[in-house]
């Protein structure tokens, strides 16, 4: 059988159970403040318990960091599991403000006005 060196870690058993798992998401990792929510599709029956646990915490709009805290798992683990779910179409994401827009004055003014209205 032909070797496929470009995908050596994809196997039937995916040991992402925290310590021995993949340490990086496939593709761009979700940031801590990325907002996620379960997609309106039925879940496959064969999901890993860790994935199911995440889906239970994503019934409404919530950030990656909050999901990690509710799960009691490090965000790095949560990010990997969430990127699986995203790839499988089981969650949807609202992208955070990208770093390139750090100097987006409109958004900063929005933050300022929002904070001022909290007083």
Partner 1 sequence: MVSKAASETLTEAAPPPAADGKYLDSNVSGAAKILVVGPLGVGKTTLIGTVSEIRPLSTEASMTRAGARVDPYAGDSGKKTTTVGLDFGRLTIDGDLVLYLFGTPGQQRFLPAWQDLAKGSLGALALVDARDLTASFDALGNLEDLDLPFAVAVNVFPTGPRYDADDVRTALDLLPDTPLVICDARDRASSIRALIALARHLIDLATESS
Contacts with partner 1 by CB under 8 A lie at 23, 31-35, 40-42, 44, 59-63, 65-66, 68-70, 74-76, 94, 96-99, 102-105, 107-119
Lookup: tokens for 68:
């990690």
- Least distance (Å) between residue 60 CB and partner 1: 3
d(CA 38, CA 53): 12
Residue whose structure tokens are 């909050």: 66
- Least distance (Å) between residue 96 CB and partner 1: 5
Asked if 36 and 91 count as a contact pair (C-beta separation under 8 A), the reply is yes
If the CB atoms of residues 26 and 37 are measured against partner 1, the closer one turns out to be: 37
If the CB atoms of residues 49 and 99 are measured against partner 1, the closer one turns out to be: 99
If the CB atoms of residues 11 and 103 are measured against partner 1, the closer one turns out to be: 103
- Least distance (Å) between residue 101 CB and partner 1: 9
d(CA 18, CA 88): 20
- Least distance (Å) between residue 56 CB and partner 1: 11
d(CA 112, CA 90): 35
Lookup: tokens for 45:
């029956």
If the CB atoms of residues 26 and 66 are measured against partner 1, the closer one turns out to be: 66
3-state secondary structure of 53: helix
């Amino acid at each position: 059988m032909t070797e496929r060196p470009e995908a050596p870690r994809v196997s039937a058993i995916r040991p992402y159970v925290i310590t021995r798992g993949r340490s990086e998401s496939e593709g761009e990792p979700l940031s801590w403040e990325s907002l996620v929510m379960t997609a309106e599709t039925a879940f496959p029956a064969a999901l890993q318990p860790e994935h199911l646990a995440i889906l239970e915490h994503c019934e409404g709009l919530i950030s990656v960091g909050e999901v990690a805290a509710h799960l009691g798992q490090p965000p790095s683990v949560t990010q990997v599991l969430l990127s699986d779910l995203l790839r499988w179409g089981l969650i949807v994401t609202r992208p955070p403000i990208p770093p390139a827009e750090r100097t987006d004055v409109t958004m900063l003014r929005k933050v300022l006005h929002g904070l001022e209205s909290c007083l």
